[in-house]
A and B are shown apart, each in its own frame.
Chain A
């Protein structure tokens, strides 16, 4: 069974940094694209970043480009999101997601909450 467990969320001041982690199990982690999707309180889903299985290809939403960095450690079956220069509008529940289907996420974590506030 696929399991994705996010951690690392918390309260951070504007301009600060945070690193999220997503521990994966139940599938061959190194062969799957992995993504981060966020959801602000009471709002919709927003795609954030994606990384290829071997870590050699990444893509980001314009709103986080240059501030967030997605990475992975295939030896530890773990996905990361390094978030710098955080803004109030980055406040959201951050999900990691993956799937074996084209351009679709059939596995999601439970999310980790990031709050950016002074």
Chain B
């Protein structure tokens, strides 16, 4: 149950896009289309942004997009806005009803 690997930080100017990677193995990210992404602002609980690799829950802007290739999943935020500055975590189903989160990425809007 090793944490999925994410870059520690990512940044972009307002209006630009930023992509965050989430690398696992064939036993988690690569083995199931059950990757989700969470946004967490300081002092707040996480918020679900993407589930099942590329689906958005109701209320999440379509600026947020998820994808997956092999053992790596990605979250892209298009048209960056100031309120997108937060920590982002990926998560994947592993096996036998267990899950694993990513190491987290701090997104800065320049």
A and B interact physically? yes
Number of interface residues of A (CB under 8 A): 26
List of B residues within 8 angstroms of A45 by Cβ: 38, 40, 46, 89, 91, 101, 104
Q: With the chains together, A35 CA to B104 CA distance in Å? A: 19
List of A residues within 8 angstroms of B104 by Cβ: 44-45
By the criterion CB–CB under 8 Å, are A46 and B48 in contact? no
Number of interface residues of B (CB under 8 A): 29
Q: With the chains together, A71 CA to B46 CA distance in Å? A: 23
By the criterion CB–CB under 8 Å, are A59 and B101 in contact? no
Q: Is the interface of B mostly helix, strand, loop or mixed?
A: strand
By the criterion CB–CB under 8 Å, are B52 and A101 in contact? yes
The contact string, 1 if C-beta is below 8 Å from chain A, for chain B 45-81, is: 1111001100101000000000000000000000000
Give how many A-B residue pairs fall within 8 Å (CB-CB): 76
Chain A min CB distance to B62 (Å): 17
Are A108 and B46 CB-contacts (below 8 A) given A44-B104, A45-B89, A45-B104? yes
Chain A interface (Cβ within 8 Å of chain B)? 35, 37, 44-47, 50, 57-63, 95, 99, 101-106, 108-111
Show 24 A/B contacts (Cβ-Cβ < 8 Å), sorted by A. A37-B101, A44-B102, A44-B103, A45-B40, A45-B91, A45-B101, A47-B98, A47-B101, A50-B98, A58-B97, A59-B96, A60-B98, A61-B1, A62-B1, A95-B46, A103-B32, A103-B91, A103-B92, A104-B36, A104-B52, A105-B36, A105-B38, A106-B57, A108-B46
